[in-house]
Amino acid sequence: MKTLLFLLMALIATSCSKPSTYHTNSGKVFGTYYKIMYYAPQDLHAGIQEAMQSVNNSLSTFSPTSTISRINQNDSTVVADSLFTVVFNTAQQVSTVTGGAFDITVAPLVNAWGFGFDPTKHRTQATIDSLKACVGYQKMALQGGKIVKSTPCLQLDASAIAKGFGCDVVAAYLEKQGVQHYLVDIGGEMVLKGNNPHNQKWKVGVQQPKEDSILISNQVAAILSISNAAVATSGNYRQFYYQDGLKISHTIDPRSGRPCSHNLLSTTVVAPTAMVADAYATAFMVLGNKDSIEAIANNQQLAVYLLYAQGDSIQVQYNDRFEPYLVR
């Protein structure tokens, strides 16, 4: 009788459980668009949105009440939350490795060149020189849960790492729900796990850049087959403007205080986390192709694919660790 009752209960439980299927959620966050695809019994969009909102509450410079905005306002009462702490520590590590090519204290310069959360396009060389005194990752530290600045004019901008981190936070939420197959895409930064709906590794296209064009290119420079990794792409070919006949790129070199002017058009990085991939993709856009490859020569976790202009053509350069991901 007990055996029969057990079998009956098991049959009822099985019949009531929902089979897993691929769900797709999309929308807008962090000033860009997201698309999440995952294999699960139920729709998890509400939890995904909550995870993304937690990142926004911590790292959005467009929200006056976020942790990073309060730090920029020199609010002495703000204590760094766990999300901010992870991003801050990672940013400092990448800054050290890249010799300051990546630096989240670049906010005053990004604003001065017209691309940040408080943009202006009116500046002089004297203005840039004075703002450089307010920039430098060595001029701040996290002590006792609080950011200590060597100068109060120091301001942080995590936009070059927060989208990637947002992907990681969503991926962590999906993992907590037991999801083993997913693609998390926020503004082109991605985390990929398991297989796609065709039971294959996820396929990711690297866009062919069009120099000096704000149009989206339909051409693909490369296709990647990737799983259990993160990928991020940064480029100078769509976010720019012209002033006095000069091209002003959105990628600002924190060291010189000026927009980058070399021939590197885009960089794609594969890394264990989207946060790390995002940060290095930005750093490489500052360093240029030669210095980027040299910077990670001994790094066994980063794969990089670079597209740069040479005359009227676009050339490709990548390290050995990137080759296994290439389909074409």
Domain residue extents for the chain: 21-325
303-310 and 240-243 beta bridge pairing: unpaired
DSSP run (H or E) holding 271 = strand 264-271
Q: Which amino acid is at 208?
A: Q
- State the pLDDT at residue 122: 61
3-class secondary-structure state, position 286: helix
Q: Is 139 helix (H, G, I), strand (E, B) or coil?
A: helix
Q: How far apart are CA 40 and CA 49, in angstroms?
A: 16
Q: Give the pLDDT confidence score for residue 128 in this predicted structure.
A: 82
pLDDT digit of tens for each residue in the chain (328 aa)? 444 444 444 434 444 457 899 999 999 999 899 999 999 999 999 999 999 999 999 999 999 999 999 999 999 999 999 999 999 999 999 999 999 999 999 998 888 767 666 656 566 778 888 889 999 999 999 999 999 999 999 999 999 999 999 999 999 999 999 999 999 999 999 999 999 999 999 999 998 876 554 445 568 999 999 999 999 999 865 555 445 555 555 688 898 888 877 788 899 999 999 999 999 999 999 999 888 888 888 888 999 999 998 888 889 999 999 999 999 6
* Secondary structure (DSSP) of 3-45: HHHHHHHHHHHHHHSPPPEEEEEEEEETTEEEEEEEEESS--H
Alpha-carbon Rg of the chain, whole angstroms?
22
For 21-325, CATH gives 3.10.520.10
The predicted structure's pLDDT at residue 123: 66
What is the DSSP annotation of 173-185?
HHHHTT--SEEEE
pLDDT value of position 299:
85
Greatest Cα pair distance, the chain, in angstroms, is 89
